[in-house]
Amino acid sequence: MSALRLDQFLASAALVFILAAPVSALGQQTEPSQAGLRDPSKAGDASAADALTSPPASATQAAAPAIAREESRAPDRLTALDPADRAIAERIRDLLDTKPNRIFADEKEHAAVETFYQKRNLAPLWLDKGVENARSKAVIARLKNADADGLDHADYKTPTFGGLSPDALAEAELSLTQTVLTYARHLQAGRVPHRQVREDNIALPQRAPDPAVVLAAVVEGDDAGQALDQFSPPYENYQKLKAALSQLRGRTAGGARDGIAVGRMLTFKRKRPMEDARVPQLRERLGVPGEATDLRYDEKLAEAVKEYQRANDLPPTGNLDARTVKKLSPTNDSRIDTVIANMERWRWYPRDIRKSRVEVNEPDFTLKAIHDGRQVWTSRVVVGKPSMPSPLLAQQMDSITINPTWKVPASIVRNEYLPAEAREPGALARMGMRVKRVNGEVEITMPPGGQNPLGHVRFNFFNRLTVFQHDTPDQYLFAHVVRAESHGCMRVQDAPKYAEVLAGMVHPEEQWTAEKVKSLYAGGTEQEISLGSGPIWIYLTYQTAFVDDAGKLQIRRDLYNLDSRTLAAIKGAREIANPASESKSKPTMATPAPAAAAHRQGRPPPQGRSHGSGSIVPVRSGA
């Protein structure tokens, strides 16, 4: 019996030892990672052991994001950097993590910069081993010369890197990055939205560069400062103005002027015209043809002076007096402002230059047709009145309509024709107008013909501002020096020739001529000449300053007050951005111009289009 009890005791002791072994082994062995390897017979013991040796599940979950963050900030991303740059990179990371970001206020710009630096493993862009590099020096030199592009260098603050702590160097690094992005944006798209200059009459893209593209350019370029050139407007007109601006500033520093000199008053005398050495310069200034050796103040020049005086709120005497000379000869300072305003407007246009295009300069009242980069034709145009200005736009030219029907815009119906009919019943019918009601509204049209205000030809470039170009029966207007007479659309002096030029660009095999265009007038059937799908674009521009073919800077009257409004908008934006460096006065913002689009001449949509080639197809005349 005692032997049996001894055996039972030994067996029990062995069982206890066996059961206890897994628990004591937990401190010495790692749990197999695969649950299937665990002995099911010991599941209960293992669970108890987990409870004793593992942290609570909630603690594990809470620690997971922290672990992930630590892994995402693993020091191996910075180990390749020089120790001096590593300390700066750590601070760059912290500065970029801050949201909202005090250096990069724009969220998209902030995101682009953060992505850029992450791809560089947070390495500084403007520093090498904690010292300013050649890339930094090149862009800072470019920023300090911002005035050359009609900008203001004071708007682009640049840091000094010498003697700074790593934290301060990181701030200086990101501040310079932000300044470079601002400069590239101003250089390409301008300093103010064009809606602050004229709210409803500009249809231009004004596209800012992608920050990632700007940063890639300064990284990849041999000269980071020169790499920023690619964000300048690509137009030759802009580059010529840039050169002219440099010359004007040089002359201003020397106190020079190149306007028309003050002298005796010139008056037209039919029997014995006065002669003066200033006459050739005056003739050139007013666009009056003549020989450089002809010094006579003749009737044609006196009429041009009278037109200029009338357009510039001077007594229209036709005499070249002191007030007129002063108006004709602005100081270099005022010319500098005019050039800067024009350079700013060039930034609003599309970046791609069409080799075949039409350029209209509204203050100069001229049109140029350019084919394959070469000017092939020019003409005078009539543009909108100051109260109904022609717009600024860049648009594909679509077609030419022969014998167009004129659908009178609702604003002209309401403001001009209905009052005229009320004063004199039957007046519209005598003018050849057709009046009918459509959905309760009065609709007035004029069928094709020589007295149609659109003449025999209309040039279509469909746009949201509903403007176009056209012929006109009022050919006498083209003899005026100031030709701002329309409701916003542009009248072209020699419409048949213009049609020949445009059709010839697109369909040279069809051998269009002005006479061929005129032959389509007979019968009054409305017909369409297609200009294809995008080969010709039209640019409506406002160039009060431009360099002519002889290399001379030309200044034109600010017909629609766009120069003064552009400069006021820039000044207002600078005062907001730099309150300490600008005057303490309330910012002067440009007041949006009154709506003008509603006053323009409308036109019915084309009711027939050519298919395939430029062959004409009849279209039905309609309202």
| Nearest CA-CA partner of 88 in 137, 118, 130 | 130
The structure tokens listed for 298 are 């003749």
Q: Quick one: average pLDDT of 115-143? A: 96
Residues 369 and 474 in one domain: yes
Q: What is the pLDDT of residue 2?
A: 47
In a domain, 156, yes or no: yes
Helix residue spans in 255-331 (DSSP H): 279-286, 299-311, 322-328
Do 328 and 377 lie in one domain? The reply is: no
Evaluate whether residue 1 is within a structural domain.
Answer: no
384 and 410 in a single domain? The answer is no
pLDDT of residue 429: 86
Cα 474 to Cα 142, 382, 485, 594, 603, distances in angstroms? 52, 10, 11, 28, 19
Proportion of the chain above pLDDT 70, given as a percent: 79
| Higher local confidence (pLDDT), 65 or 268 | 268
Query: Are residues 202 and 158 in contact, defined by beta-carbon separation less than 8 angstroms?
Result: no
pTM of the model: 0.74
Q: Interhelix angle for 107-119 vs 83-97, to 10°?
A: 150
Question: 185 and 307 in one domain?
Answer: no
Q: Give the tens place of pLDDT for each residue, 226-258.
A: 999 999 999 999 999 999 999 998 865 554 456
Task: State whether 280 and 361 are in the same domain.
Answer: no
Least confident stretch, 266-280, 538-552, 591-605: 591-605
- The confidence score (pLDDT) of residue 610 equals 37
d(CA 353, CA 335): 27
- End-of-domain residue from the set 300, 332, 364: 332
CA-wise closest residue to 552 among 158, 299, 287, 348: 287
Q: Is the pLDDT assigned to residue 618 strictly greater than 60? A: no
Q: What is the pLDDT of residues 456-511, one digit of tens each?
A: 999 999 999 989 999 999 999 999 989 999 999 999 999 999 999 999 999 999 99
Domain harbouring 523, CATH code: 2.40.440.10
What are the pLDDT digits (tens) for 369-409? 999 999 999 999 999 999 999 999 999 999 999 999 988 88
Find which of 57-71, 274-288, 578-592 is predicted with most confidence, using mean pLDDT. 274-288
Residues 160 and 249 in one domain: no
> For all residues of the chain together, what is the average pLDDT?
83
> Considering only CA atoms, which of 93, 171, 94 is closest in space to residue 127?
171
| Residue appearing with tokens 């064009």 | 194
Residue 493 domain-assigned (yes or no)? yes
Q: Which of 414, 446, 478 is the last residue of a domain?
A: 446
pLDDT bracket for residue 583 (50, 70, 90): very low
Tell me whether residue 427 is in a domain.
Answer: yes
Q: How far apart are CA 402 and CA 528, in angstroms?
A: 6
Candidates 603, 598, 596; CA nearest to 446 is 603
Q: What is the pLDDT of residue 310?
A: 84
Domain holding 128, by residue range, is 75-189+207-231
Residue 154 tokens, joined: 């004071």
pLDDT at 602: 42
> Is 229 strand, coil or helix?
helix
What is residue 577's predicted lDDT score, i.e. its pLDDT? 80
Residues 501, 622, single domain; the answer is: yes
Asked if 537 and 587 sit in the same domain, the reply is yes
Query: Is the model's pLDDT at 94 over the cut of 60?
Result: yes
Please give the structure tokens belonging to residue 115: 């992505």
At residue 30, the pLDDT reads 35
Judge whether 492 and 471 are in contact, CB under 8 Å: yes
How many C-beta atoms surround the C-beta of residue 460 within 10 A?
22
Q: Are 328 and 245 contained in the same domain?
A: yes
Considering the domain architecture, whether residues 366 and 392 belong to the same structural domain is answered as yes
Answer whether residue 130 is part of any domain: yes
Last residue of a domain, one of 299, 332, 365: 332
Asked if residue 214 belongs to a domain, the reply is yes
Q: What's the number of domains the chain is made of?
A: 4
Euclidean distance between CA atoms 124 and 263, whole angstroms: 63
pLDDT on residue 48: 35
Look at residue 606 in the predicted model and tell me its pLDDT. 40
pLDDT confidence of 76, banded at 50, 70, 90? low
Note whether residue 44 is domain-resident.
Answer: no
Is 211 within the bounds of a domain? yes
CA 284 to CA 548: how far, in whole Å?
A: 11
Q: Give the H or E element holding residue 472.
A: none
- Helix/strand/coil (H, E, C) string of 474-507? CHHHHHCCCCEEECCCEEECCHHHHHHHHHHHHC
Q: Are residues 460 and 535 in the same domain?
A: yes
Q: What sign has the CA pseudo-torsion 286, 291, 295, 296? A: negative
191-223 pLDDT per residue, tens: 999 999 998 899 999 999 999 999 999 999 999
Look at the block and give the residue holding tokens 């007479």: 485
Q: Is 189 helix (H, G, I), strand (E, B) or coil?
A: helix
Tokens of 422: 């009320």
Q: Kindly state whether residues 287 and 429 are assigned to the same domain.
A: no
> Do β-strands 441-446 and 469-470 pair in parallel, antiparallel, or remain unpaired?
unpaired
